[in-house]
Amino acid sequence: NEFVKHSVVIVGYGGMGSYHAKLIKDNGRLAVVGTYDTDARRGEASEKEGYPAYPSYDAVLNDPAVETILIATPNDVHKELAVRAFAAGKHVICEKPVTMSVEDFKEMTAAAERANRVLMVHQNRRWDEDFLIIKQMYEQKTIGELFQIESRVHGANGIPGDWRHLEVHGGGMLLDWGVHLLDQLVFMVDSKITSVSSRLSFILGDDVDDGFEALLQFENGLSARVEVGTTNFITLPRWYVKGTEGTGMIEDWSMVGRIVTRNREVEHVEPKPIQAGVGLTKTMAPPSESATLTGALPEPFRQPSSFYDNYVSVLEGTGNPIVKNDEVLRVLNLIEAIFRSARGGETVKNFDFY
């Protein structure tokens, strides 16, 4: 390999940390040179995979061979670990949600700037194919101008049985899945959010939300409903979007979906009333077969590079980050507005953060 490999130490070698190690193995420009986890059993698991386990975080910070620290611990310790990494002259890749508050994130970016080091947040779902199909529809106006987007993930397993249950560790579904769905929207829609109204759910009796619903209004007329549920034994589609010319739907992660558009070739025919329930309706009668066209989902928008390749280009000063810190900040502000709206039972309209 003619390129220098950039060294990475994974801090927090749990579910996601070990997944990063697998993904980075396939990337020619980064190399995992070790891990650190407060749980010794995770250190052993790491050594079994061939990644030496550092005995302490200080040992990682003091090792001049370490260029980047990848933080994949529970959410409450991201900030402290990152600030110490910058002070030691390391670059940081941080898992989402980068921090639990706007204030903490500002402290983190200030520390990165002071040290002139890179901070990039792993908002990996910007690379999800389902999202990239919707982004393509939004940009190419495949079903006309999109004016309503419903983005949801539904599960029936409750909150996984670990730190995600606990407020002190930054648990709850708004910070966990919510941050992904909101990040996708903020990345895709280049317009200010003018109002937010939301509800958190506490069906499982945890001290954190087991799901939420948020309604967002954008200045350009688009409205979005973002929903996460962990008690949905019947799931609604991952995406349901409406445009001025039609409707689109993506069912699930396997990209089952379709778009249905108005057939411009056919003259409008008044629908015939149908029997619906115990009544008659013209309004809800299905359009005649010739009045609409059913098509396949468009090809997804192509991200210019993978997350890791993009990180390397930022490190080497040859590229701009796909996940920008000002976007991450907007999402954290939005999350705080969603919490405010849910707790106060009101619509939040004062956005001084865009």
The answer to the question of residue 59 lying near ligand NAD (CB under 6 A) is no
The span from the CA of 252 to the CA of 158, in Å, is 19
Q: Is 76 exposed, middle or buried (0-12, 13-18, 19+ CB in 10 A)?
A: middle
Candidates 53, 59, 74, 249: give the one binding ligand NAD (CB under 6 A). Answer: 74
The answer to the question of residue 67 lying near ligand NAD (CB under 6 A) is no
Nearest to 307 by CA among 298, 317, 319: 319
Tokens linked to 51: 């990644």
Candidate segments 32-40, 199-207, 270-278, 308-316, binder of ligand NAD by CB under 6 A: 32-40
Candidate segments 13-21, 103-111, 189-197, 291-299, binder of ligand NAD by CB under 6 A: 13-21
Lay out the site mask for ligand NAD across 118-147 (x = CB under 6 A, - = otherwise). Answer: ----x-x-----------------------
Candidates 9, 21, 36, 184: give the one binding ligand NAD (CB under 6 A). Answer: 36
Candidates 34, 37, 227, 348: give the one binding ligand NAD (CB under 6 A). Answer: 37
DSSP 352: -
> CA of 293: how far to CAs of 142, 210, 245, 288, in Å?
12, 39, 11, 11
Residues 170-199 that bind ligand NAD (CB under 6 A): 176
The span from the CA of 52 to the CA of 59, in Å, is 12
Nearer to ligand NAD by Cβ, of 90 and 218: the residue is: 90
As a three-state string, the secondary structure of 3-21 is CCCEEEEEECCCHHHHHHH
Candidate segments 36-44, 214-222, 267-275, 295-303, binder of ligand NAD by CB under 6 A: 36-44
The span from the CA of 146 to the CA of 255, in Å, is 19
The answer to the question of residue 56 lying near ligand NAD (CB under 6 A) is no
Residue 17 CB, shortest distance to ligand NAD, in Å, is: 6
As a three-state string, the secondary structure of 289-329 is HHHEEEECCCCCCCCCCCHHHHHHHHHCCCCCCCCCHHHHH
Residue 163 CB, shortest distance to ligand NAD, in Å, is: 6
Do 258 and 296 form a contact (C-beta atoms < 8 A)?
yes
The answer to the question of residue 73 lying near ligand NAD (CB under 6 A) is yes
The answer to the question of residue 95 lying near ligand NAD (CB under 6 A) is yes
Residues 267-306 that bind ligand NAD (CB under 6 A): none
Nearer to ligand NAD by Cβ, of 247 and 305: the residue is: 305
Residues 6+ apart with CB under 8 A from 307: 122, 124, 127, 322, 323
Per CB under 6 A, residues contacting ligand NAD are 11-17, 36-39, 42, 72-75, 77, 95-96, 122, 124, 162-163, 176
